[in-house]
Amino acid sequence: MSRRLHALAFIASLAAAPGLALAASADDPVVARVDGAELHKSDVEAARRALPPAAQKLPLEQIYPKLLDQLVSGMLITEEGRKAKLADDPEVKQRLAQLSNRVIQQVYIERVIKAAATDEKLRQRYEEDLKTHPPKEEVSARHILVASEDEAKAIIAELDKGADFATLAKAKSTDSSKETGGDLGYFSKDEMLPEFAEAAFKLKKGEYTKTPVHTQFGWHVIKVDDRREAAPPSFEDSKEALTDEIAGEAIGEKLKALRSKAKIETFALDGSPMPAPQ
């Protein structure tokens, strides 16, 4: 591991809480003893979860020796701190109180979300979204992009004589899509520039624009290969976004209710009364 990852592993070891398991089990064996205090596999896994996402992706076997070493170091430092009576130190007590508050907030919010974002409610919201957001129409189109209107008109004239669109795109287009005959794949109306989308969605399958279409990129000749209705996202694909949506609503409603019952006074940084909101 890099020097930075070593440091992160050490921080993670301090964030973990070793020695909480009462006894070793087949699923959570003892991995070290420090002056009789035990470290378990679960302590190593907890330290790993405290690492940055990139480090968490590394195989546990790869980072295990360093994590274990840092957990042992953390236990030694903790014990020295206890011998120095830091458990009774005012600063330690203040930090513990702050940490306790954060943990309580986190667990409370997690439980509010769990109660609100049930599978039944997620499915209900999913069905509602399907009704209020009908499938979008999509077209599969090709285009030829050139620098001037006259060039685009000349290309349309060649198409009118029976020239192949993809062949012309490969020969004349200045866009990177020329390599695939100008193919842009399927897209909805809101995914393209307004001028381009307006022209494309007026075309029937197999038709091309009879006049050049101008955008900030130049002059386009557009052909529609196909039209379809986009399939709606599956429930599983929508689940994360729906959970976030319902969670935000639930937390907002809970905070609104709590604030309505509380007496809240706020002050400026100098301790003076804050002006009433306008």
pLDDT digits (tens, 9 = 90+) for 89-140: 999 999 999 999 999 999 999 999 999 999 999 999 999 999 888 888 999 9
Phi, psi of 73 (to 5 degrees): -60, -40
pLDDT of residue 23: 53
Fold of 137-229: Chitinase A; domain 3 (3.10.50)
Confidence class for position 256, pLDDT limits 50, 70, 90: very high
Residue 270 has pLDDT above 90, yes or no: no
Cα separation, 213 vs 220, whole angstroms: 5
**Edge-to-edge strand list for the sheet holding 213-215:** 183-188, 137-146, 218-229, 213-215
- Decide: helix, strand or coil at residue 144: strand
Q: Are 145 and 174 in contact (CB under 8 A)?
A: yes
Domain ranges across the chain? 3-88, 91-134, 137-229
pLDDT of residue 152: 97
pLDDT digits (tens, 9 = 90+) for 226-247: 999 988 889 999 999 999 999 9
**Cβ-based neighbour number of residue 240 at 10 Å:** 10
Confidence class for position 149, pLDDT limits 50, 70, 90: very high
